[in-house]
């Protein structure tokens, strides 16, 4: 047997063989053992087969963190289908774009989640749903789409199948067929299509194969030193690579228990962490702040937490030199999240001050961002990566545009390697905004803001934030004496942009006030500084927006 699993079916089977009676999933009201999880996955696999899912099927998944997400993850990929993970933050236009770009053939979604009514959005995108029959959807907007299954729908309605009707299909498929199809899954088969913001106005589709996803999921569990005694609480949405690779696969590949919380509710999170005596957590800084500011924080016992990720635990334990078992890493969606990582038992200084060694089987180089020439140890340059953890390709993009002549992917991030070959991440080179752990494309925000009546041009840029790392700042160029009110801009942003993409502040300018370089490029740094100064002075030139 290989040291690491090479496919997702193999990863799951190893855990079943070793941990059948151990707890796999925990929710507020339920808990499933690995054996019970497997039964659900087998049943779901038969239902998928009954509906025509097989190798290469593009299966879209738009759902909050839930047992169904985990079940569909393993059921779909175990049949060789490609799981297209769709953001629960998606507005109608975002949803339409991803479904069409990914050529989604079958869509599994929640009827609604929080304030998002996905059923209504989908019916606006695909008006043919109302008159269609289940499994026979023919849409001009989404020409590849044939089937929609909706959780939360009590009965079939037009072309939309209820979850109950979907599950009933399992009875028509022999159990032996599931095993036969799983045995045909190859390490080189595509399994995940994940969307990430790029430097263009549209997100890119990142295609990963079983080999990279399965081994990286298993490896992060190794680096964190997880085992069957670990209980993991997290709130990374499952559609992020951190959720569907690092957290879920890192935990389940090592027999640990995964706590699923649909949305981040601080009081409920603290109750779950204490009740289940979580040993490990994955959390963003602004969420940790919300937990620590909650009235229950000081009354709850969280002494059992000792294997979290990053440097967050020092805020609890009292200092940067606390030896608390956390790991530090570097990565992105294109590298199955973690590409380098520290071990949980390495010295504190190593875990706090470096991003660790490159994961086994992969390669890293530091190059001059302008010339592409390799740089020696200790010199800062662009971080470039290659190996099984790296995306196979961007969907519908020529690989020649993605990889250099040596087969390396250029991350757009700045860093250097020390004498021990450990990576030190410095900052991003690309013009990206990273708010609360989420990458935001300025061009995507600009494409929305420029549609506001009276706006001639829009510029988006990062501004520092104590809570979220960065937030979106924006400058709008208005025509002539056009006046824009804060209420107008705020109302538009709430309709057209997900909360984390909405500007924290907006600067209103005339065209001749836009700072330019000698070569005619907009100086966004100058706009950022001007906006921050206006916000601090509370000038009338600034529109303050509340996310």
What tens digit of pLDDT does each residue of 73-129 get?
Answer: 999 999 999 999 999 988 899 999 999 999 999 999 999 999 999 999 999 999 999
Q: How far is CA 327 from CA 107, 127, 220, in A?
A: 36, 48, 10
User: Angle at CA 265, nearest 5°, toward 73 and 248?
Assistant: 25
Lowest mean pLDDT segment, chosen from 17-21, 122-126, 492-496: 492-496
Report percent pLDDT > 90 for the chain.
69
Q: What is the 3-state secondary structure (H, E, C) of 162-207?
A: EHHHHHHHHHHCCHHHHHHHHCCCCCCCEEEEEEECCCCCCCEEEE
Q: Which of 130, 94, 90 is nearest to 112 (CA)?
A: 90
Q: Which of 484, 493, 486 is nearest to 455 (CA)?
A: 484
- Most confident residue range from 16-30, 196-210, 277-291: 16-30
* Region(s) of the chain under CATH 3.40.50.980: 8-210
Per-residue pLDDT, 482: 64
Rounded to an integer, the average pLDDT of 199-215 is 87
Residue 101 has what DSSP assignment? H
pLDDT category, 543, cuts 50, 70, 90? low
Per-residue pLDDT, 540: 52
Rounded to an integer, the average pLDDT of 473-479 is 90
Task: Report whether pLDDT(316) > 50.
Answer: no
Rounded to an integer, the average pLDDT of 439-448 is 86
Per-residue pLDDT, 321: 44
pLDDT category, 320, cuts 50, 70, 90? very low
Token pair for residue 185? Answer: 């899954």
* Region(s) of the chain under CATH 3.30.300.30: 441-544
Residue 137 CB contacts under 8 Å (≥ 6 apart), including other chains: 126, 128, 129, 145, 146, 147, 148, 159
Task: Report whether pLDDT(231) > 50.
Answer: yes
Q: In whole angstroms, what separates CA 28 from the centre of its chain? A: 23
Task: Report whether pLDDT(318) > 60.
Answer: no
Per-residue pLDDT, 325: 52
Rounded to an integer, the average pLDDT of 234-253 is 94
Query: Rg of the chain's alpha carbons, rounded to an integer?
Result: 24
Which is higher by pLDDT, 22 or 202?
Answer: 22
Q: With beta carbons less than 8 A apart as the criterion, state whether 152 and 110 touch.
A: yes
Per-residue pLDDT, 339: 95
Can you identify the CATH homologous superfamily of domain 441-544?
ANL, C-terminal domain (3.30.300.30)
pLDDT category, 250, cuts 50, 70, 90? very high
User: Angle at CA 34, nearest 5°, toward 30 and 40?
Assistant: 70
Per-residue pLDDT, 197: 63
Q: How many other C-beta atoms lie within 10 A of the C-beta of residue 495? A: 10
335-383 pLDDT, tens digit per residue, is: 999 999 998 888 888 888 899 999 999 999 999 988 999 999 999 999 9
Token pair for residue 240? Answer: 């992020």
Per-residue pLDDT, 313: 42
Rounded to an integer, the average pLDDT of 290-318 is 70
Per-residue pLDDT, 520: 58
State whether CATH 3.30.420.40 applies to domain 8-210.
Answer: no
- Cα distance between residue 462 and residue 468, in whole Å: 11
- Cα distance between residue 389 and residue 192, in whole Å: 13
Per-residue pLDDT, 469: 87
């Amino acid at each position: 047997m290989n040291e690491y699993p090479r496919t997702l079916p193999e990863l799951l089977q190893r855990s079943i063989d070793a941990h059948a009676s151990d707890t796999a999933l925990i929710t507020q009201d339920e808990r499933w053992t690995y054996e019970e999880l497997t039964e659900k996955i087998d049943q779901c696999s038969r239902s998928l087969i009954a509906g025509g899912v097989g190798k290469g099927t593009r299966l879209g998944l738009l759902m909050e963190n839930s047992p169904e997400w985990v079940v569909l993850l393993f059921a779909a990929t175990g049949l060789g289908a490609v799981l297209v993970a769709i953001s629960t933050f998606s507005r109608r236009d975002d949803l339409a774009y991803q479904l069409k770009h990914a050529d989604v053939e079958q869509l599994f979604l929640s009827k609604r989640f929080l304030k998002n009514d996905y059923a209504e959005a989908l019916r606006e995108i695909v008006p043919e749903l109302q008159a269609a029959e289940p499994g026979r959807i023919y849409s001009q907007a989404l020409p590849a789409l044939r089937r929609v299954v909706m959780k939360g729908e009590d009965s079939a309605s037009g072309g939309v199948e209820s979850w109950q009707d979907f599950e009933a299909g399992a009875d028509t498929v022999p159990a032996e067929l599931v095993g036969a199809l799983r045995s045909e899954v190859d390490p080189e088969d595509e399994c995940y299509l994940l969307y990430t913001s790029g430097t263009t106005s549209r997100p890119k589709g990142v295609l990963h194969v079983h080999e990279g996803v399965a081994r990286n999921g298993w490896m992060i569990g190794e680096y964190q030193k997880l085992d069957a005694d670990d209980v993991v609480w997290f709130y990374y949405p499952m559609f992020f690579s951190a959720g569907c690779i690092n957290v879920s696969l890192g935990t389940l590949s090592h027999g640990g228990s995964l706590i699923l919380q649909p949305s981040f509710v601080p009081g409920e999170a603290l109750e779950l962490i204490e009740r289940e005596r979580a040993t490990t957590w994955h959390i963003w800084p602004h969420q940790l702040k919300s937990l620590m500011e909650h009235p229950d924080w000081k009354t709850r016992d969280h002494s059992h937490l000792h294997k979290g990720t990053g440097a967050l635990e020092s805020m609890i334990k009292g200092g940067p030199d606390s030896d608390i078992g956390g790991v530090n890493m570097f990565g992105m969606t294109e590298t199955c999240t973690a590409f380098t990582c520290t071990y949980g038992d390495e010295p504190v200084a190593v875990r706090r001050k470096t991003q660790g060694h490159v994961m086994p089987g992969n390669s890293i180089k530091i190059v001059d961002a302008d010339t592409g020439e390799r740089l020696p140890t200790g010199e800062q340059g662009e971080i470039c990566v290659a190996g099984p953890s790296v995306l196979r390709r961007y969907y519908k993009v020529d690989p020649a545009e993605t990889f250099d002549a040596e087969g390396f992917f250029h991350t757009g991030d700045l860093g250097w390697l020390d004498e021990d070959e450990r990576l030190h991440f410095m900052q991003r080179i690309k013009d990206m905004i990273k708010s609360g752990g989420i990458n935001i494309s300025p061009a995507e925000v600009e494409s929305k803001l420029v549609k506001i009546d009276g706006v001639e041009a829009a510029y988006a840029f990062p501004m520092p934030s104590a809570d979220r790392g960065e937030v979106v700042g924006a400058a709008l160029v208005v025509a002539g004496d056009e006046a824009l009110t804060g209420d107008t801009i705020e109302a538009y942003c709430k309709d057209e942009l997900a909360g984390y993409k909405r500007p924290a502040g907006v600067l209103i300018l005339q065209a001749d006030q836009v700072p330019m370089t000698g070569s005619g490029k907009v100086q966004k740094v100058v706009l950022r500084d001007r906006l921050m100064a206006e916000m601090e002075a509370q000038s009338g030139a600034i529109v303050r927006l509340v996310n």
